[in-house]
């Protein structure tokens, strides 16, 4: 935008200027800087601009509150009309299965993941892979720290372990906004702060993608692996976590998501606030979660199950320890494998044995396994850098 | 202004992608509903028009043209359907009868707290001036400043030439501004203007 354009502007011109009006109606930090600097360079225009802003603001209507249920109801009618037509041509509708969920239909925005590939880089996560931050402009930054702190500033810049690395996000074209991507290999983890204040702990063997700058309507991130979210509240911009199979809608809350590709289930556990989750498919039903509840999606059975859990078990990893409560030992070992990037081979019959207790992840894996062996009477041997458990 | 995201979303929808449809609905349904309620307070008519619009979209998706501005496309088509509903109910033709054309807006002036000096007095003047606008002026202003549409689109929705649409909006803004200009500290002048406008 050029300052010169505004030289002869009258109040009316400012009001009718799309960019100016948009800035007045929907103030945002990206345009703030432009208009602030314009004002400081052209103080003679300030009164005109104030007057223009006053008039633009006076044009704002009060829109009646339209209840979501109303809109959902209309949506259902539209779909129903469409469906009955199908039924006539004798297509069976699997209604019964669908109705078992308690649900609000589809005002949640479902993105088709195939179009916006959230993970543009197919990363192999095994060691000796380093952690990576791939910025939307394509630049790749590697890191080797055990725990990496990544911060996105309000202006769209990114800092890794306190070193600023990014180019200005505004320089990106808006038509095809790329995503920043953080890849954490097994044995490492990362803590990410987004520009809106949302805090995300990314566990070992996980990837998270997010735009350099959220758009005006929503905040969307993409997760593969495990992460704990502390979402900054913003009622006007719901926060969405997309996983390969389902999507979680959030308004400001604390929750954990575990969505490893190789696991048979995807889980989310809510600590505070409110979230709803649903499959990434059309007419997806969403399930609402309350604090203390866990939602498990079984990929094989294509089913959601909701239950009450001790939420602290699921969030403990961000503080450097794991708590288990009657967890099959195989699950425990799987988590340790990821965390330490160590192969653990467990005898199948151990599946029946469960483990309860707290493991300090700051210790090395040998000590951790020894603790388990002591508590659950399994035998741990080390062979060629692998741990074998009987 | 070409909106690539809209073009793509629309294309997906035309190609039978049901995610795209629910996305279009969730982005636009509330706006359409609000727009509709400006023409009639009968929400059943508004809902019928919405259902009508979206059902037809699904039914005819294969034959739909391309668009780079879904919002405009929907507003235009929705208004036509809503007018049909209103006409059916009231038994007069809105397109032909300008007298019956209603566009009611409650402006948020009183609800916004603006701590600018003199602002409340100015806002009172603006409020009065806004109340005197015709339905067409209100609708044009709404489409421009709330829906943020281009002149060409507003003209098409309101069934007028681009030139007269531009004029209509410009004149409206100018009249609002002239109200403020008279609100200089000179109270007697202000008083004079108010008397004038009441005549």
As given in the structure block, the two tokens for residue A125 are 């996560």
Write out A325-382 in H/E/C secondary structure. EEEEHHHHHHHHHHHHCCCEEECHHHHHCEEEEEEECCCCHHHHHHHHHHHHCCCEEE
Does residue A96 carry a pLDDT above 70?
no
In a domain, A98, yes or no: no
H-run or E-run covering A321: strand A321-328
Confidence class for position B97, pLDDT limits 50, 70, 90: low
Query: pLDDT above 90 covers what percent of chain B?
Result: 46
Lowest mean pLDDT among A44-58, A142-156, B33-47: A142-156
pLDDT at A13 over 50: yes
The answer to whether residues A297 and A199 belong to one domain is yes
CB atoms within 10 A of CB A58: 22
* Chain A interface, best mutation among B26, B50, B106, B122, by max A CB count within 10 A: B26
Question: Among A312, A335, A370, which residue terminates a domain?
Answer: A312
Handedness of CA A335, A207, A249, B23 (dihedral sign): negative
Query: Is residue A16 situated within a structural domain?
Result: yes
pLDDT band at A282 (very low <50, low <70, confident <90, very high): very low
User: How large a percentage of chain A has pLDDT more than 90?
Assistant: 5
- Whether residues A192 and A50 share a domain: the answer is no
Structure tokens at B125: 């003047």
Domain membership of residue A50 (yes or no) is yes
Q: How many domains does chain A have?
A: 4
Contact A264, A297 (CB under 8 A): no
- Answer yes or no: do A54 and B55 touch at CB < 8 A: no
For residue A358, count CB atoms less than 10 angstroms from its CB and return exposed for 0-12, middle for 13-18, buried for 19 or more. exposed
A158-182 pLDDT, tens digit each:
777 767 665 444 444 333 357 888 8
Collapse the DSSP code of A247 into the 3-class scheme (helix H, G, I; strand E, B; otherwise coil) and give the result: strand
Report whether pLDDT(A93) > 50: no
Q: Are residues A307 and A324 in the same domain?
A: no
Residues in chain B closer than 8 A to A63 (CB atoms): 34
Check residue A97 and give its pLDDT.
Answer: 27
Together in a domain, A237 and A290: yes
pLDDT for B31 equals 92
What is the model's pTM? 0.49
Q: A366's torsion region: left (phi>0), alpha (psi -120 to 50) or beta? A: alpha
Residues A75 and A34 in one domain: no
pLDDT for the residue numbered B72: 94
Distance of residue B56 Cα from the nearest chain A Cα, in angstroms: 9
Q: How far apart are CA B116 and CA B129, in angstroms?
A: 20
Other beta carbons within 10 angstroms of residue A231's beta carbon come to 25
Q: Is residue A105 part of a domain?
A: no
Pick A206 or A138 by higher pLDDT.
A206
Strands A199-202 and A354-360: unpaired
Of A312, A346, A365, the last residue of a domain is: A312
Q: Are A183 and A174 in contact (CB under 8 A)?
A: no
**Sign of the dihedral through C-alpha A168, A169, A174, A178:** positive
Q: Based on the fold, state whether residues A173 and A298 are members of the same structural domain.
A: yes
Chain A interface mutation, best of B25, B38, B71, highest count of A Cβ atoms under 10 Å: B25
A103 located within any domain: no
Question: Contact A18/A10 with Cβ under 8 angstroms?
Answer: no
In DSSP notation, B94-156 reads TTT-GGG------BGGGGS----TTHHHHHHHHHHHHHT--HHHHHHHHHHHTS---HHHHHH
- Of the two residues A88 and A387, the one the predictor is more confident about is A387
Residue B19 scores a pLDDT above 70: yes
- Name residues whose C-beta falls within 8 Å of residue A80's C-beta, 6 or more positions apart in sequence: none
Residue A205 belongs to a domain: yes
Q: Residue A172: give the domain boundaries.
A: 112-312
| Cβ-defined contact of A51 to B33 (cutoff 8 Å) | no
Q: Find the range with the poorest average confidence among A74-78, A304-308, A320-324.
A: A320-324
> Which residues of chain A does B108 touch, with a Cβ-Cβ cutoff of 8 Å?
60-62
* DSSP-based three-state secondary structure for A226: strand
Domains and CATH numbers, chain B: 4-100 (1.10.1740.10), 111-198 (1.10.10.10)
Structure tokens at A33: 């800087």
| A66 → closest Cβ in B4, B34, B174 | B34
Nearest CA in chain B to A19: B148
d(CA A296, CA A299): 9
Pair (A72, A44) in one structural domain: no
Q: Which residue of B5, B106, B107 is in closest CB contact with A58?
A: B107
Give the DSSP letter of residue B72.
H
CATH code of the domain in which A200 resides: 2.60.120.1440
Most confident segment among A115-124, A208-217, A354-363 = A208-217
Q: Are residue A198 and residue A74 in the same domain, yes or no? A: no
The answer to whether the Cβ–Cβ distance between B23 and A107 falls below 8 Å is no
The beta-strand segments (E) located in A22-146 are 104-105, 131-134, 140-143
By Cβ distance, the residue of B12, B54, B169 closest to A78 is: B54
Residue A218 lies in a domain: yes
- How close is the nearest chain B Cα to the Cα of A81, in Å? 7
CATH of the domain at A368: 3.55.50.30
User: Which residues on adjacent β-strands are paired with residue A190?
Assistant: A148, A202
Q: Are A235 and A45 in contact (CB under 8 A)?
A: no
pLDDT of amino acid B36: 95
Closest listed residue to residue A281, CA positions, set A98, A142, A87, A17: A98
Question: Considering the domain boundaries, does residue A185 fall inside one?
Answer: yes
Same structural domain for residues A147 and A131?
yes
User: Do residues A86 and A213 share a domain?
Assistant: no
Q: Same domain for A29 and A155?
A: no
Note whether A9 and A17 are within 8 A (CB): yes
Is the pLDDT reported for residue A106 higher than 50?
no
**Shared-domain flag, residues A304 and A169:** yes
Interface test with B, best of A54, A82, A107, A246 (most B CBs within 10 A): A54
**Min Cα–Cα distance to chain A from B105, Å:** 6
């Amino acid at each position: 935008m050029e300052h010169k354009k505004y030289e002869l502007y009258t109040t009316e011109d400012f009001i009718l200027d799309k960019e100016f009006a948009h800035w007045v109606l929907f103030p945002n930090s990206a345009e703030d800087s432009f208009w602030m600097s314009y004002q400081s360079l052209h103080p003679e225009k300030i009164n005109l601009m104030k007057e223009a802003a006053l008039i633009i603001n006076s044009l704002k209507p009060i829109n009646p509150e339209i209840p979501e249920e109303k809109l959902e109801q209309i949506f259902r009618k539209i779909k129903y009309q469409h469906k009955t037509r199908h039924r006539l041509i004798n297509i069976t509708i699997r209604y019964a299965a669908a109705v078992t969920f308690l649900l609000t239909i589809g005002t949640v925005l479902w993105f088709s993941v195939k179009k916006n590939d959230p993970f543009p880089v197919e990363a192999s996560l095994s060691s000796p892979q380093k952690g990576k931050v791939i910025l939307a402009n394509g630049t790749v930054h590697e890191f080797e720290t055990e725990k990496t702190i990544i911060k996105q500033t309000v202006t769209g810049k990114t800092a890794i372990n306190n070193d600023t690395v990014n180019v200005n996000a505004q320089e990106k074209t808006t038509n095809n906004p790329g995503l920043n991507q953080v890849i954490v290999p097994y044995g490492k983890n990362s803590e990410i702060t987004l520009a809106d204040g949302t805090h995300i702990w990314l566990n070992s063997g996980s990837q998270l993608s997010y735009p350099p700058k959220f758009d005006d309507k929503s905040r969307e991130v993409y997760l593969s692996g495990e992460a704990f979210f502390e979402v900054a509240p913003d009622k006007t911009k719901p926060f969405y976590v997309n996983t390969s199979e389902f999507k979680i809608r959030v308004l400001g809350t604390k929750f954990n998501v575990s969505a490893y590709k190789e696991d048979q289930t995807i889980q989310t556990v809510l600590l505070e606030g409110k979230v709803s989750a649903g499959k990434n498919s059309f007419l997806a039903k969403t399930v609402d979660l309350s604090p203390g509840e866990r939602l498990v999606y079984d990929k094989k059975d294509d089913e959601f199950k909701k239950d009450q859990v001790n939420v602290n078990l699921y969030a403990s990893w961000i503080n450097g320890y794991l708590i288990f409560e009657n967890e099959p030992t195989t699950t425990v070992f799987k988590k340790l494998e990821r965390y330490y990037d160590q192969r653990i081979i467990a005898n199948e019959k151990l599946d029946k044995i469960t483990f309860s207790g707290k493991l300090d992840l700051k210790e090395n894996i040998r000590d951790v396994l020894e603790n388990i062996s002591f508590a659950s009477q399994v035998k741990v041997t080390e062979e060629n850098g692998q741990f074998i458990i009987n | 202004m070409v909106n690539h995201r809209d073009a793509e979303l629309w294309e997906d929808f035309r190609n039978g992608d049901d995610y795209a449809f629910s996305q279009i609905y969730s982005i636009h349904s509330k706006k359409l509903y609000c727009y509709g309620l400006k023409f009639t307070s009968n929400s059943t008519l508004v809902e019928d028009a919405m259902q009508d619009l979206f059902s037809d979209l699904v039914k005819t998706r294969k034959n739909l043209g391309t668009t780079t501005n879904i919002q405009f496309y929907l507003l235009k088509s929705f208004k036509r359907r809503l007018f049909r509903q209103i006409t059916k109910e009231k038994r007069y033709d809105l397109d032909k009868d300008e007298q019956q054309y209603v566009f009611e807006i409650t402006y948020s002036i009183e609800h916004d707290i603006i701590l600018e000096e003199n602002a409340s007095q100015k806002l009172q003047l603006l409020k009065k001036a806004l109340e005197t606008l015709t339905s067409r002026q209100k609708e044009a202003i709404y489409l421009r400043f709330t829906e943020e549409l281009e002149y060409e689109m507003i003209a098409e929705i309101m069934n007028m030439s681009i030139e007269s649409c531009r004029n209509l909006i410009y004149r409206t803004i100018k009249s609002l501004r002239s109200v403020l200009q008279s609100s200089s500290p000179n109270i007697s002048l202000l008083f004079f203007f108010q008397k004038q406008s009441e005549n």
